[in-house]
């Protein structure tokens, strides 16, 4: 039961090379890439030739090399096409259009109605978002190489199905095919945990470390895992459901139905519950709606003025969060632990400082020394950026298999669903 074919490795190495171009803005020689990735010059030359052949990389000039022969400078070919990343969240749909160098060209954000939402309504919102960013950027839809879409809940990536969405009580909705048909574009589906981890790998802390956990704190709570340098998905793409790990045995009822889940303490509803237990009549509770932003901004503002209730809510939230992060540190021994999304963006430094203290009371000394806890450098659009990276990876995987690989193996890889993008009408 090996999952590491020569082709898998080539893919991982290809992404690793491409990520170097986002790590800093300048063009790079093959020698730079070899030293940055620890791959051999031969491997880098092979990979870059393929990427130049696909039009993904271009030569943009020559670097002198101290008297030796000049070396070609390579860069991402921004003009090769565009990518779209979409974050479908409980309360909004955020659509971003990127060039192939992952430079942002346009963004659109539109609210999702509260209450039950049908798949058709989401498809409509996505289509409007895609139309809007194209109009805003003056770019053509025919230039789109791929659309990455993050859907809340659990997603079965290979089949392109939303297997479970807690917000809208969806079960087994074949969203990829519906979206691909409506948009007329190749669609790659996953969930926000995977998208956040990809965003850190392509744009954030994952460029510097091999083992990273990015913690999403919004109304839903979960963790994206990048282990040994690559996105970890688990057996059925549902790894990272740390929000539904048990922190308080026989504790609060979580909306998943179980007791004591992390999400019931550090998600926005959990934070509101902590406030309610301290001050049942607090005016912020009246304001708290599904969006939760008023609750979080209210708590942050009052804590900054020293309001003891707000300070205590944040302290207790940090106590729970520190213990729950300690579990990730002890189980996974990562180098970086990144706090992302709404809760982290609004409660920021105060939450970080208190959480660090709480973490120290739960993580073992050795893995604690090995890890850095930080706020995400991508607090506002990690998921949509990660979704665009998903589309980029999907575009590369969907090209006919690169390099010296037999047709049989390529066919087998496709049959196994490694290339998971679905272009409407395309026979597989």
Footprint of its own copies on residues 87-146 (CB under 8 A)? Answer: none
Number of residues in contact with its own copies under rule CB under 8 A? 73
Rg (CA), the chain: 22
Q: Which C-beta is closer to its own copies: that of 171 or that of 423? A: 171
CB of residue 238 vs its own copies: minimum separation in angstroms?
Answer: 5
| Element (DSSP H or E) covering residue 278 | helix 268-278
- Three-state DSSP class for 225? strand
Contacts of 382 (CB under 8 A, 6+ apart): 195, 196, 199, 200, 204, 214, 340, 341, 376
- Kind plus residue range of the DSSP H or E element containing 97: strand 92-99
- From the list 409, 411, 415, 426, which residue makes contact with its own copies (rule: CB under 8 A)? 409
Instruction: State the DSSP code for 91.
Output: S
Map tokens 């503002």 to a residue. Answer: 301
- The answer to whether residues 226 and 232 touch, using CB atoms and an 8 Å cutoff, is yes
Q: Residues 70, 111, 361, 403: which binds its own copies (CB under 8 A)?
A: 361
Q: Which of 22, 178, 207, 350 binds its own copies (CB under 8 A)?
A: 207
Q: Which residues contact 424 (CB under 8 A, 6 or more apart)?
A: 177, 180, 181, 184
For residue 94, what are the β-bridge partners? Answer: 87, 109
Which is nearer to its own copies, 211 or 376 (by Cβ)? 211
**Token couple for 318:** 């940090």
Site string for its own copies, 240-279 (x = CB under 8 A): xxx-xxxxxx-x----x-x-x-------------------
Cα–Cα distance for residue pair 156/295, rounded to 1 Å: 33
Cα–Cα distance between 192 and 223 in angstroms, integer?
9
223 binds its own copies (CB under 8 A): yes
Q: Least distance (Å) from its own copies to the CB of residue 354?
A: 16
* Phi, psi for residue 144 in degrees, rounded to 5: -70, 125
Residue from 186, 326, 419, 421 that binds its own copies (CB under 8 A)?
326
Which phi and psi angles does 231 have, rounded to 5°? -60, 130
Looking at residues 290 to 319 of the shown chain, list those that interact with its own copies (rule: CB under 8 A): none
**Which one among 46, 163, 196, 376 touches its own copies, defined by CB under 8 A?**
163
Given candidates 147, 149, 239, 296, which one binds its own copies under the rule CB under 8 A?
A: 239
Considering only CA atoms, which of 341, 329, 253 is closest in space to residue 293? 341
In the chain the first and final C-alpha atoms are separated, in Å, by 24
Pick from 301, 304, 244, 312: which is nearest to 275 by CA? Answer: 312
Nearest distance, CB of residue 202 and its own copies, angstroms:
13
Query: Binding to its own copies (CB under 8 A): which residues in 28-67?
Result: 37-40, 43
Is residue 188 a contact residue for its own copies (CB under 8 A)?
no
Is residue 4 part of the contact set for its own copies (CB under 8 A)? yes
Member of 26, 53, 61, 234 binding its own copies (CB under 8 A): 234
Q: Is 370 in the site for its own copies (CB under 8 A)?
A: yes
Cβ at position 176, least distance to its own copies in Å: 17
Mark the segment that binds its own copies (CB under 8 A) among 83-91, 103-111, 224-232, 300-308: 224-232
Closest approach of Cβ 237 to its own copies, in Å? 7
In angstroms, what is the minimal distance from the CB of 98 to its own copies? 24
CB nearer to its own copies: pick between 124 and 208:
208
């Amino acid at each position: 039961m090996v999952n590491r074919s020569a082709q898998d490795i080539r893919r991982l190495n290809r992404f690793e090379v491409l990520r170097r171009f986002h790590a800093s803005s300048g063009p790079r020689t093959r020698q730079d890439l070899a030293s940055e990735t620890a791959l051999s010059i031969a491997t880098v030359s092979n990979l870059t030739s393929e990427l130049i052949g696909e039009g993904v990389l271009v030569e943009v000039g020559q670097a002198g090399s101290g008297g030796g022969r000049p070396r070609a400078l390579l860069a991402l070919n921004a003009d090769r096409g565009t990518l779209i990343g979409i974050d479908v969240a409980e309360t909004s749909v955020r659509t971003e259009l990127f060039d192939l160098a992952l430079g942002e060209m346009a963004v659109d954000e539109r609210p999702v109605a509260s209450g039950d939402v049908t798949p058709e309504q989401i498809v409509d919102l996505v289509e409007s978002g895609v139309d809007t960013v194209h109009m805003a950027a003056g770019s053509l839809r025919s230039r789109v190489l791929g659309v990455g879409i993050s859907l809340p809940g659990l997603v079965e990536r290979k089949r392109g199905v939303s297997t479970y969405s807690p917000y809208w009580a969806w079960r087994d909705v074949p969203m990829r095919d519906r979206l691909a048909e409506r948009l007329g574009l190749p669609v790659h589906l996953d969930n926000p945990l995977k998208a956040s981890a990809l965003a850190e790998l392509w744009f954030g802390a994952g460029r510097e470390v091999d083992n990273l956990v990015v913690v999403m704190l919004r109304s839903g709570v979960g963790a994206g895992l990048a282990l040994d340098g690559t996105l970890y998905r688990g057996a059925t793409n549902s790894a990272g459901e740390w929000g539904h790990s048990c922190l308080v045995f026989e504790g609060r009822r979580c909306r998943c139905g179980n007791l004591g889940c992390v999400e019931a303490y550090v998600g926005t509803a959990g934070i509101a519950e902590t406030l309610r237990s301290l001050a049942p009549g607090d005016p912020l509770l009246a304001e708290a709606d599904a969006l939760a932003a008023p609750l979080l901004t209210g708590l942050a503002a009052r804590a900054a003025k020293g309001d003891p209730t707000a300070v205590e809510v944040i302290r207790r939230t940090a106590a729970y969060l520190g213990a729950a992060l300690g579990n990730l540190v002890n189980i996974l021994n990562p180098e970086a632990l990144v706090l992302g999304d709404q809760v982290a963006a609004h409660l920021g430094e105060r939450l970080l400082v208190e959480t660090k203290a709480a973490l120290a009371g739960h993580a073992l000394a050795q893995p604690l020394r090995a890890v850095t806890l930080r706020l995400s450098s991508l607090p506002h659009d990690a998921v949509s950026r990660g979704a665009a990276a998903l589309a980029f990876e999907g575009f590369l995987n969907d090209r006919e298999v690169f390099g010296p690989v037999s047709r049989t193996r390529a066919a087998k890889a496709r049959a196994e669903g490694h290339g998971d993008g679905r272009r409407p009408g395309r026979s597989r």
